[in-house]
Structure 1
Amino acid sequence: MISTLRVVWGSRRLRAAALSMMCIGAIAASIAPYQGLIAIKLFGFSDPQFAAIMIVGAAMSVAASIYVGIITDQWASRYTTALVSGAISSSAFVLVYLTRSPAMYVIAACLLIPVGFSLMGQIFAIARVAVNERAPHERDAVMSIIRAGFALPFIVVLPLWSLVIVEDADLIQLYLGMSAASVLSLLVLLSLMPKDGTEGGIEEKSGLSFRASMSELFHPRVTVRLFLIAALVAANTTYMQTMGLIFDGAHPNGTARTGRLAALIAGLEIPFMMLLPLVTQRVSKSTALLGAAVIYAVFLLTFPMLAGTDYVWLLAVPAAMGAAALLTLPIAYFQDLLAHRPGASSSLQSVNQVTSQLIAGATFWVGTAIASYGVVMMMAAGLALLAGVVLRLADSHDPTLSQ
């Protein structure tokens, strides 16, 4: 791990990518556990309306990520694209905070934030280009470091928000924090990121037309695996969307507990992320993902029963073990799947995230319509287990992915 950290810090491109990813992690730490509370308790939307907002925003993110990934491969213009994406996301958070309007919240959630968050996929593409010539296990180790940078802010940011947020009205302060983190990410890219074609960022343009690139992305070999991995990741997405609501109904101090448990899990995820390259040297990525699905399903099934007790803190260990793999391995998996298309493969990671939001939104909608938030988590656990088994079976017949 120390040698990998030296590699990251010794490259201006990787260093900028890691620092920018930490800023993006701070944004995610600020909004992810509180999504349901913001939409339902702060802005007054109903459960079905919240689910609809999540689905529309996810669909817009899919379109934006695919378009940006293809264009950056065609033009090899990752630096400029990252700056534009960062500027859009910054404006979204600032506008919601200044207007405090439900209408602006919907515009930001359904349009501006999905477009701006294509930045995350491009950060992974930038990092992949910088390590393309290294051995596979070294590439995996670097990507694990970059992904761990995303998780690191959860340790600090979530406990701070648990102290700041004591009433529904205070939830708007989340957007002030996200505005600051987004602007800082933009400044990091402006000041530290070398321009395209310099210092480890030299790459050839894809040479593919937009139509040919789309055909490559929508080949059944790719789309089936994308959906299966999204179903796996949806387990974590469902948890993040629902945990605050379950805690709020199960404990008098539920809002504060939301931030504290999420921070504890995120802190424990980091060492598990660092160990993942050792795991993938011995088993295939799909085997590791199946194991993670089993562990995380146990966590999801147990959490609603223990949310009102102090035993809930014990669940942080299995939650972190499962989430570390579910959130990190898809990055390297997609980059192996489309090894010569760093932009397109990294856009698959963004599409994976938002497709998981689509699946999680649909799960939330159905689960709350027929029963309770606890049933939502039960459905997510079952879906993750099924997806993990099918992915492992599919990869066992693909020689490039079975090892």
Structure 2
Amino acid sequence: MTPIRLVRHDPALRLAALLITLYGALLGTLAPYVSTLAVEVFGLDDADFGAVLAVASGVSAVGAIGLGIRADQSARRRPVALFTLGLMVCGLALVSALRSPLSFVLAHAVLLPASTSLFGQVFALARLAAACHPPQARDGIMAVVRAGFALGFVAVVPVWSVAFGSGAGLGVVQPAALAVGLCMVALVERHWPRDGATPWVDRPSGLRLGAALAEMLHPRIAARVLALGAVNGAVMLYIALVGLSLTQIAGRSAADVALYVGIVAGLEVPLMLALPRIMGRASRGGLIWLGACVYGAHLAAIPWLAPTGWLWALTLPGAAGGALILTLPIAYLQDLLGDRPGAGGALMALQKLAGDASAALSFSVGTWAAGYGLAAGLGAGLAVAGASALWLMDRRAGRAGLAPA
């Protein structure tokens, strides 16, 4: 498969894939246990932890936008990546060393959320490096790099399951995540291409902050980010509902939740790697719409099939739809700001913010009115509506370059 060969043999693409894989492993080590750490280890109550999550969501978006714009302004991406990783390492070191509620809040509300902009920065590097290869291979390259995140995440989850089953305490996850973060710092320091010495051209944008923000918030761009946010909201809602739907059923347990999530994430990896074989046969917007329909059907069916053996049949459509809606929007958003790879990466943070809002709305209204079944149905409906709106906007735009194909 050509995209895999290109990533393997191109040093910058290989670095991007490795960094994303390690980032997936870091989040797989930390993210599933943050809420338990907050309440059981650091003594926060539900309201306190909710406030931490709310602040973290805003800091993540602001950090991604600010650092993305800064990288475009100067075209000095290596120092920005090192600064971002510095925030990550400082946050993890702080909470690992002090083990206090204040250190936990500072790390998880400010430092670690600000460091999530690394995701967009690595994909900005991948986009720039992909410019040295045939244009038709770019979506496939992004799919291969994105598959690394799922691979890293899936690889560490069973390791921690065994570790906790053997008696390890939750307090070890942050030092372990710190070790992964330090490996990422070493990789960037040693292998990130030196600014001005790259085989691709990366010109400074010269835009002031206000002008760059105005460019990102142009109605043509903002409408598409919101539409993709509705699609992404289905993924956020799935994460919230799968555990609640399964653990409240007699005969189901947290082990079923872990197994289901693990199967879906594990199947996503080969399906993402296989995406280049279908790209080009349909428009990117059309494939996102197809992915939203398949993933939405999977999401809507979970609460109804949770008591039955048919639940496990949903893992395949869940992985197939997820492979499409987790991968294709990356290149789509980058193409909205084609000559601003940093700001294009920051649009991913805005998409996630919109997705969080969509998921929260579906969950709140659905559970208030009828329960998890309605919440899942609303989230699926919003995802399909967002993908449909995206496809219609691109179709009406009509002109090449105005909207990604």
Matches within 5 A, 1:145-164: 145-164=144-163
Matches within 5 A, 1:46-125: 50-125=49-124
Q: CA RMSD in A?
A: 2.8
1:326 is the counterpart of 2:325: yes
**CA distance in structure 1 between the partners assigned to 2:149 and 2:211 by the alignment:** 32
SS of the equivalent of 1:203 reads coil
- Following the alignment from structure 1 to structure 2, what is the Cα–Cα distance between the partners of residues 365 and 38? 25
Contact 1:21 1:146 (8 Å CA) reproduced: yes
1:139 aligns with 2:138: yes
Q: Does 1:299 align with 2:298?
A: yes
- One-letter amino acid of the structure 1 residue matched with residue 344 of structure 2: S
Which runs of 5 or more residues in structure 1 are unaligned? none
The CA deviation at 1:157 is 1.2
**Taking every aligned residue pair, what percent have the same amino acid on both sides?**
34
Letter paired with 1:205: P
Q: Mean alpha-carbon deviation: is it higher for 232-241 or for 276-285?
A: 276-285
Aligned to 1:234: 233
Distance (Å, rounded) in 2 between the aligned partners of 1:360 and 1:108: 25
Q: Does 1:189 align with 2:188?
A: yes
Query: 2:359, 2:379 → 1: CA distance?
Result: 7
1:209 equivalent in structure 2: 208
Give me the whole-angstrom Cα distance separating, in 1, the residues matched to 2:306 and 2:92.
31
Distance 1:206 1:331 in 2: 21
1:377 aligns with 2:376: yes
The alpha-carbon deviation at position 280 of structure 1 amounts to 3.1
TM-score by length of 2: 0.89
Moved more, 51-60 or 120-129: 51-60
* Distance in 2, Cα, partners of 1:367 & 1:34: 26
> Which deviates the most, 364-373 or 291-300?
364-373
**Distance in 2 of aligned mates of 1:173 and 1:305:** 37
**Which deviations, in whole Å up to 9, do the C-alpha atoms of 1:18-60 show, x marking residues without a partner?**
1111111112323444555555666666666655443332221
Q: Which deviations, in whole Å up to 9, do the C-alpha atoms of 1:47-83 show, x marking residues without a partner?
A: 6665544333222111111111111011011111111
Q: TM-score, normalised by structure 1?
A: 0.89
1:238–1:215 CA distance, 2 compared to 1 (3 A): same
Q: Can you give the 5+ residue segments of structure 2 that lack an aligned partner in the other structure?
A: none
Name the counterpart of 1:351: 350
Q: Which has the higher contact order (CA 8 A, sep 6+)?
A: 1
Q: What corresponds to 1:387 in structure 2?
A: 386
TM-fit CA distance, 1:266: 1.6
1:312 CA drift (Å):
3.0
C-alpha distance in 2, partners of 1:101/1:321? 42
Q: Which amino acid aligns with 2:25?
A: A
What is the correspondence of 1:258-273 to structure 2 with a 5 Å cutoff? Answer: 258-273=257-272
Question: Equivalents in 2 of 1:376, 1:104: separation in Å?
Answer: 35
